[in-house]
């Protein structure tokens, strides 16, 4: 057993530092010398690798106050805000999103997403399926997340980079976290039938000053030569031991200065950090995420160094008006930050040539009711919702589907959540009609329902 200790002194009950350690048990280093380890990270190129960034909006955002305004509907349906013209002729967004409206040719919007359950669970966004209850028909081991499937099918990113990173903060409402936790069920669906080797490496702490990756702080990640020297000295006692996949990934992160550099936002240009904007906390009663633009910047830096899939949680959108205020007040407070941060993120990807190979999906677990409730909010509404999709080969400036005059149900072209997943897999070069993964009962499983295809209107 090899234990690498950092400098911070917060400790577990066994006396080990909580924040500065990574314990790697039974590491089998094979014939790798320190010199070969140092050389390994220079192998591989990120210039052609395709990636996905999934931006989860905990709580389910309103479609009326964002991408599907209904200016001709009665006030109790249309709300307090009017529409604004976008860069795409004939397409309107809500006036709360002027910056995204001005660049609407860079992304597309699905206004008629269906297939979500009325459940406050991030699991639906990360897997495209319901889980945790007997009627859900989960396979042995549970459904894996999109990133877990990508990790299993495609393996590490270029140069041996971690394939899957969750850059979401830890949220107090547990089902919002990327851990397969469900409402009203003692069952969880994590890590899914792809296994623990393919769960995301998780970032924790403040991205500015206290960031950890699976318990390892930036100072220790950056001190590669010290780490590798320790490993080289221990090589004799370790080289005959078995090395499992999860431990190999942990070892890989320690040998990558590219990863450590990507996680250190102080290495980013100060003007770029300023451009993304400042963080805004959300009311603690929501149990969601802060609006943290630097998490989007972190996602960009991670895909630049070869991570295949990055998940981010942004904001708290359960706007019943039973917390903090009515939807008009919440929209004025939170939508400008969302509008600015997301528009800067998409512009940044485009300007760096990353948008062409990086698919971006922005969504919550369901939409909101067409009619504003008596308190001035909107309640849960799984019958339809709006989703932003960009990059990775997706054409910009398109609106898929049309809702009825109240914004409550699809009037044409309902788009199933599984079609979104088929689209993302297609953009990564994964053939969902051919690729299967065997579940823990030995049954081969397609990645999406067999009849679901990529959204044809996006290409």
Question: Where do the structural domains in the chain lie, given as residue ranges?
Answer: 46-222+257-458
Residues 6 or more apart from 100 whose CB is under 8 A from it?
Answer: 86, 93, 107, 339, 342, 343
**CATH 3.40.1440 fits domain 46-222+257-458:** no
Read off φ and ψ for residue 403, nearest 5 degrees: -90, 165
**Residue 110 near residue 12, CB atoms below 8 Å:** no
**Residue 180 near residue 123, CB atoms below 8 Å:** yes
- pTM of the predicted structure, to 2 decimals: 0.86
pLDDT value of residue 226:
56
The three-class DSSP label of residue 445 is strand
pLDDT value of residue 259:
81
Residues of the chain predicted below pLDDT 70:
1-46, 205-256
Strands 108-110 and 399-400: parallel
CA quadruple 100, 261, 267, 312: dihedral sign? positive
Whole-angstrom Cα distance, residue 236 to residue 168? Answer: 38
pLDDT value of residue 342:
98
Nearest to 82 by CA among 67, 71, 66: 71
**Residue 16 near residue 29, CB atoms below 8 Å:** no
**Residue 410 near residue 385, CB atoms below 8 Å:** no
CA quadruple 192, 366, 111, 338: dihedral sign? negative
Helix axes 146-154, 417-427, angle to 10 degrees: 30
- Give the E-state strand segments of 159-314 in sequence order: 164-166, 201-204, 212-213, 216-217, 309-313
CA 260 to chain centre: 20
CA dihedral 127, 129, 132, 135 (to 10 degrees): -160
315 HSE (CA, 13 A, CB side): 26
The three-class DSSP label of residue 364 is coil
Nearest to 265 by CA among 255, 254, 279, 252: 279
CA dihedral 183, 187, 188, 193 (to 10 degrees): -140
Nearest to 116 by CA among 446, 413, 333, 363: 363
Whole-angstrom Cα distance, residue 16 to residue 323? Answer: 40
First to last CA, the chain: 51
């Amino acid at each position: 057993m090899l234990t690498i200790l950092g400098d911070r002194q917060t400790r577990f009950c066994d006396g080990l530092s909580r924040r500065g350690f990574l314990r790697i048990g039974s590491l089998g280093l094979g014939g790798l010398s320190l010199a070969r380890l140092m050389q390994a990270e220079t192998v591989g190129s990120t210039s052609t690798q395709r990636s996905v960034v999934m931006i989860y909006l905990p709580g389910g955002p309103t479609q009326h106050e964002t991408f599907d305004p209904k200016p001709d509907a009665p006030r109790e349906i249309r709300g307090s805000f009017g529409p604004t013209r976008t860069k795409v002729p004939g397409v309107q967004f809500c006036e709360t999103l002027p910056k995204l409206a001005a660049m609407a040719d860079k992304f597309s919007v699905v206004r008629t997403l269906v297939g979500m359950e009325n459940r406050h669970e991030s699991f639906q966004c990360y897997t495209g399926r319901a889980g945790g209850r007997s009627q859900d028909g989960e396979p042995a081991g549970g459904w894996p997340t999109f990133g877990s499937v990508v990790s299993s099918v495609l393996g590490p990113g270029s140069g041996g980079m971690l394939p899957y990173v969750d850059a979401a903060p830890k949220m107090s409402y547990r089902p919002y976290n990327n851990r397969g936790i469900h409402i009203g069920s003692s069952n969880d669906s994590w890590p899914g039938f792809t296994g623990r080797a393919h769960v995301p490496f998780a970032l924790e702490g403040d991205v500015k000053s206290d960031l950890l990756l699976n318990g390892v702080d930036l100072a220790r990640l950056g001190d590669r030569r010290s780490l590798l020297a320790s490993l080289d000295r221990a090589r004799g006692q370790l080289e005959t031991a078995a090395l499992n996949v999860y431990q190999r990934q942990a070892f890989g992160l320690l040998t990558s200065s590219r990863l450590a550099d990507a996680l250190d936002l102080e290495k980013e240009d100060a003007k770029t950090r300023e451009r993304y904007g400042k963080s805004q906390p959300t009311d603690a009663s929501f149990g969601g995420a802060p609006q943290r633009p630097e998490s989007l910047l972190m996602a960009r830096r991670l895909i630049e160094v070869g991570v295949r899939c990055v998940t981010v949680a942004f904001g708290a959108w359960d706007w019943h008006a039973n917390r903090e205020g009515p939807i008009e007040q919440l929209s004025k407070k939170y939508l400008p930050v969302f509008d600015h941060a997301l528009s800067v993120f998409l512009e940044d990807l485009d300007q760096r040539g990353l948008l062409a190979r990086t698919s971006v999906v922005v969504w919550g677990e369901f939409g909101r009711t067409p009619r504003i409730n008596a308190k001035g909010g909107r309640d849960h509404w799984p019958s339809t919702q709006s989703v932003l999709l960009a990059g990775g080969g997706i054409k910009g400036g398109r609106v898929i589907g049309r809702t009825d005059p109240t914004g409550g149900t699809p009037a044409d072209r309902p788009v199933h959540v599984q079609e979104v997943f088929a689209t993302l897999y297609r953009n990564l070069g994964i053939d969902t009609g051919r690729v299967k993964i065997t579940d823990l009962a030995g049954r081969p499983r397609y990645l999406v329902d067999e009849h679901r295809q990529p959204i044809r209107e996006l290409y």
